[in-house]
Structure 1
């Protein structure tokens, strides 16, 4: 029975962190984005995010945040959430599930402690911006 279950590999879909100017905070802030670099529309994209780890030797956990997008167009990105500076010191995890046609895709993306920073930025596919890609 288990051998009959096919779990497709997620390709060209990423969770990325992009630094942008915030008028609210009057500074550059980090935001998480769902980046669809495929030629297909992602349907019913659901993301559960959380951060966890140690700060000053003390265990810290954020609450889980849930996000849903009915459609994510091909070759585009949608903003998921603001990444507050304190959570950048923690492991940031994003569980992504979505459909292409009748096929469900699922992947966990991770940003390790302090991995979201200006030095770690690379050119991101499709959107012409720089950012940090989750692994």
Structure 2
């Protein structure tokens, strides 16, 4: 029965964590973004995030976006640097047309740091990207 279930592959949707200057608080903040690098809009985007390691689990954060336009991005959450010592998961579900897609993006512990910055698609900034 499981072999009969079609699970479509998620492509051109990414999660990025970007180090940005916050003008209100005059500080450098780490923010997580979802990026839609597709040519179509994503509908009913659900994002569930949490962090964990062998002895610690963070609380779960949920965010819903009604629509994420094609070739666009949206901020998910502010991330505290203490979370980078944990594995951080972003479970993303969305509809593209009448098809539901689902993917878990994982930032392994200690992979989010200033030395790992790379260009981020569509955003014209540098950050840490998971495809």
Match status 1:110 vs 2:119: no
SS where residue 67 of structure 1 aligns?
strand
Choose the corresponding residue for 1:79, options 59, 72, 75.
Answer: 75
Unaligned runs of 5+ in 2: none
SS where residue 53 of structure 2 aligns?
strand
Deviation at 1:11, TM superposition (A): 0.4
Distance 1:97 1:74 in 2: 16
> Which residue of the partner structure matches residue 35 of structure 1?
35
CA contact (8 A) 1:75 1:127 kept: no
SS where residue 61 of structure 1 aligns?
coil
1:48-87 superposed Cα distances (whole Å, 9 cap, x missing partner): 0001125xxxx22110011000000111110000000111
1:72-103 superposed Cα distances (whole Å, 9 cap, x missing partner): 01111100000001111111111000000000
Unaligned runs of 5+ in 1: none
Equivalent residues in 2 for 1:1-135, closer than 5 Å: 1-53=1-53, 59-135=55-131
Q: TM-score, normalised by structure 1?
A: 0.91
Deviation at 1:12, TM superposition (A): 0.5
RMSD: 1.3
Distance 2:102 2:18 in 1: 22
Deviation at 1:6, TM superposition (A): 1.1
Q: How many residues align?
A: 131
Distance 1:105 1:65 in 2: 20
